[in-house]
């Protein structure tokens, strides 16, 4: 599928706010790819498609994940909106003709991260957090600078802030976020 067709389909499927966010992630991912010597086109595609399954209700997300044999954690059962990452990887392949496993893997782990991410996966994880259309987050300017100077540390910083935010609000946390944080803390 051509890039133009992908954009057209996303415009029809996503809210305007989500589409603008996706464009911001694509732009940021491309810039980071240039700095970190990653294929820019792969970063752009993963960035623009990272939220392609975001508009689904929790019920629909669970039903579609079951239908397509996508593993569902206990946490995702209780918080099905987080399935958009795994479903996004599935949709990128099934509906947008993306067959590059690196792109699909980067989409699949962009919300929680995962231990031992490759550079493209780290770029999409970071770009989703720092893209210019995001509402201001604590320490965002510092984190944006880190993304271009120390990507590994930037991932750790984002995870630390995410965990602190979830704990402050008393929100439940996906165990993959905790595993990813522990991995990055020790490496």
Interval 40-81: pLDDT, tens:
999 999 999 999 999 899 999 999 999 999 999 998 999 998
At residue 21, the pLDDT reads 97
Could you tell me which residues come within 8 angstroms of residue 98 by beta carbon, excluding any fewer than 6 positions away?
45, 49, 92, 104
The residue among 17, 26, 25 whose CA lies nearest residue 55 is 17
The total number of structural domains in the chain stands at 1
pLDDT in tens, 73-102: 998 999 998 899 999 999 999 999 999 999
Percent of the chain's residues with pLDDT above 70: 100
Residue 18 has pLDDT above 90, yes or no: yes
Q: In this predicted structure, what is the pLDDT of residue 19?
A: 97
Structure tokens belonging to residue 131: 């893209």
Q: Which domain holds residue 127?
A: 3-186
Q: Are 74 and 93 in contact (CB under 8 A)?
A: no
Give dist(CA 183, CA 54) in Å, integer: 27
CB 180 within 8 A of CB 112: yes
Q: Band of the pLDDT at 169, cuts 50, 70, 90? A: confident
Q: Percent of the chain, pLDDT > 90?
A: 91
In this prediction, residues 105-110 reach a mean pLDDT of 98
Confidence at residue 15, expressed as pLDDT on a 0 to 100 scale = 95
| pLDDT of amino acid 35 | 98
Higher-pLDDT residue of 82 and 32 is: 32
Judge whether residue 173 has pLDDT over 90: no
Find the CATH number of the domain harbouring 37.
1.10.3210.10
How confident is the model over 120-162, as pLDDT tens digits? 999 999 999 999 999 889 999 999 999 999 999 999 999 999 9
Q: Tell me the pLDDT band of 116, cut-offs 50, 70 and 90.
A: very high
Residue 170: band (very low, low, confident or very high) from pLDDT cuts 50, 70, 90: confident
Label residue 101 left, alpha or beta by phi (over 0 means left) and psi (-120 to 50 means alpha).
Answer: alpha
């Amino acid at each position: 599928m051509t890039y133009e067709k992908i954009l057209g389909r996303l415009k029809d499927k996503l809210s305007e706010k989500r589409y603008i966010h996706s464009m911001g992630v694509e732009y940021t991912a491309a810039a980071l790819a240039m700095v970190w010597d990653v294929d820019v086109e792969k970063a752009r595609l993963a960035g623009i498609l990272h939220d392609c399954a975001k508009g689904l209700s929790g019920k629909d997300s669970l039903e579609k994940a079951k239908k397509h044999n996508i593993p569902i954690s206990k946490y995702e059962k209780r918080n099905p909106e987080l399935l958009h990452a795994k479903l996004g990887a599935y949709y990128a392949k099934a509906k947008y003709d993306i067959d590059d496993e690196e792109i699909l893997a980067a989409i699949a782990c962009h919300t929680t991260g995962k231990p031992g991410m490759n550079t493209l996966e780290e770029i999409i994880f970071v770009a989703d957090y720092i893209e210019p259309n995001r509402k201001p987050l604590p320490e965002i300017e510092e984190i944006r600078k880190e993304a271009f100077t120390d990507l590994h540390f930037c991932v750790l910083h984002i995870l630390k802030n995410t965990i602190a935010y979830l704990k402050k609000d008393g929100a439940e946390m996906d165990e993959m976020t905790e595993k990813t944080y522990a991995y990055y803390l020790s490496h």
